[in-house]
Amino acid sequence: MFVAMNRFRVNKGKESDFEAVWRNRDSQLSEMSGFRTFDLLKGPEAEDGATVLYASHTIWDSKADFVAWTKSEQFRNAHKNAGQNKGLYAGAPNFEGFESVL
């Protein structure tokens, strides 16, 4: 199993806009071999009150399945408008990948 997470610092007051982007996009994940599940998680507000932490969380059968997703036409289609949402974020997303050991 492979877990892929992107952490986003979303500008305070932009939470509903950020969530709408994810809710309304056509990710095409279900078309991909090895894809199991997707979740968008909302975390805490930063101590300075300027941002709210979010994480996108996908589970795959293997790291190879995830890598295949990142090189696919479906990935390009799902991310083609990402640049239009830069005002929602405080910096670039932070990717974290984890392989199952137990």
The residue extents of the domains of the chain are 2-96
Q: pLDDT tier at 26 (50, 70, 90 boundaries)? A: confident
**Element at 78 (helix H, strand E):** helix 73-79
pLDDT single digits (tens) 66-86: 999 999 999 988 887 777 787
CATH architecture assigned to 2-96: 2-Layer Sandwich (3.30)
Contact 91, 9 (CB under 8 A): yes
Q: What is the pLDDT of residue 25?
A: 85
DSSP assignment of 5-59: EEEEEEETT-HHHHHHHHHH----GGGSTTEEEEEEEEEEEPTTSSEEEEEEEEE
